[in-house]
Structure 1
């Protein structure tokens, strides 16, 4: 008799295994519905009935990870990997857990191991790229994004992810090219429009930037970042009144939008509205540095 059956003495071995299987399946639907506490309850009973099933440990670990119970997630992934040492899914998910905890070198070890087992796994490649960014290994992160794009050039979000990284590296022409690729795949991808607009602003292509940002706001009228970028573009084009209107709206949508306070402060300073400028710069310092 298995250890799990001892806690359910009324069930035969076959009945216990059958119940554990149904519980695992129901838990997967709970996970799909983001009902993670319900999933964890089902999986805990399933594990009690059939403790040798790696899938149950892995699924429960994933639910624990998603709701940020990271220590519990690690325990579950460790158990899953004892049962299935070459599970790319468990390794990748444990790597995500380590990354969320700031244990980036351990995360990288799990991602690298997982990718030896499943080299074409997009989500593991993406998780590894994110960890490389957190480690400030940006060139390597770009290379990982290149692998993702090579596997499927039709995924607009992959082009945007690399474009965002290029933008972070101040490689604006490369960023614009990637956002343009994303928009070929999905012409109404708001983030690609908004981010390409910002990259165009940074390369002094203000009219093109304005066109992208206008389109982004047509599609998403509450996009605070697009309002902020458009405000900066309008200021460069000499329309400070419209620029302030956009920045006011950006800050209304996100009262902790540090960059918008800074840009609005610079415009107020240019207009010699120094009290308003001081107020904006003070708020930016408070939000960013706690002053």
Structure 2
């Protein structure tokens, strides 16, 4: 009799296997519904019944990861990998957990191993590219993003991800080109519109930036980053009152939005509303440096 069944003495082995299977299946639906605590409860019982099922450990680890319970996630992925050492999914998920904990070299080791098993797994390639960028290995990260695009040129998200990296590298025209490719694949992709608007702002193409950011906000009125960027664009175009409305709303949505406080402070300073400007600059310093 399986070791886990001792916790359910009234169940036969066949009944325990059946119950554990249904619990795992229900947990997967809970995960799809983002009800991760409910999934963890089901998976914990499933593991108690059948501790040798690698999928149950992996799924519970994934729910812990999504909930930022990183140590618990690592424990579960470790157990899953003891049972299935060559699970690309478990390795990739454990790598994502290490990356979230800023243990980037360990994350890279898991991603590299996972990619020997599943070389064309887009989400693992994406996670590896993110880790490379965080390690400031930007050229290597760019190569990974380009590889992802070669595998499937029709995915808007992949173009956006490379565009974000180009923007981080201050290569604004390259970023604009990638966001444009994303929008060819998905016309109303909010992030592509918002990020292209930001890249256009950085390239001093304010009218085009305004059009993109306004469209992004039509689609997603609560997009605080698009509001902040549009506020900066409106200020550059000389409309400080409308700029302040956008920045006020952005800060209302995210009271920790440091850049918005800085931009709003600069506009208030330009309008000679110095007490309010001082308040915004002080808040920006407090949030960024703990002043």
TM range (shorter): over 0.9
Deviation at 1:87? Answer: 0.6
Q: In structure 2, how many angstroms separate the alpha carbons of the residues matched to 1:72 and 1:218?
A: 40
Q: In structure 2, how many angstroms separate the alpha carbons of the residues matched to 1:87 and 1:202?
A: 43
Q: In structure 2, how many angstroms separate the alpha carbons of the residues matched to 1:111 and 1:249?
A: 40
The 5 Å alignment of 1:46-61 reads: 46-61=46-61
Count of residue pairs brought into register by the alignment: 291
In 2 relative to 1, CA 76–250 (structure 1 residues): closer, same or farther, beyond 3 Å? closer
Deviation at 1:132? Answer: 1.7
Deviation at 1:200? Answer: 0.9
CA deviations over 1:225-280 (Å, ceiling 9, x no partner)? 22222222222222233323332332233222211221222223333333332222
Residue in 1 that maps onto 2:203: 203
In 2 relative to 1, CA 243–17 (structure 1 residues): closer, same or farther, beyond 3 Å? closer
Q: In structure 2, how many angstroms separate the alpha carbons of the residues matched to 1:245 and 1:48?
A: 55
Residue in 2 that maps onto 1:255: 255
Q: In structure 2, how many angstroms separate the alpha carbons of the residues matched to 1:254 and 1:72?
A: 29
CA deviations over 1:88-115 (Å, ceiling 9, x no partner)? 0111111112112221111110111001
Structure 2: stretches of 5+ with no match in the other structure? none
In 2 relative to 1, CA 12–249 (structure 1 residues): closer, same or farther, beyond 3 Å? closer
Structure 1: stretches of 5+ with no match in the other structure? none
Residue in 2 that maps onto 1:65: 65
CA deviations over 1:153-194 (Å, ceiling 9, x no partner)? 111121111111111111101110011111111111122112
Residue in 2 that maps onto 1:97: 97
Q: In structure 1, how many angstroms separate the alpha carbons of the residues matched to 2:226 and 2:277?
A: 22
Q: Which moved more, 1:89-98 or 1:228-237?
A: 228-237
Q: Which moved more, 1:101-110 or 1:19-28?
A: 19-28
Residue in 2 that maps onto 1:9: 9
Q: In structure 1, how many angstroms separate the alpha carbons of the residues matched to 2:261 and 2:235?
A: 14
Q: In structure 1, how many angstroms separate the alpha carbons of the residues matched to 2:6 and 2:254?
A: 55
| Secondary structure of residue in 1 paired with 2:287 | helix
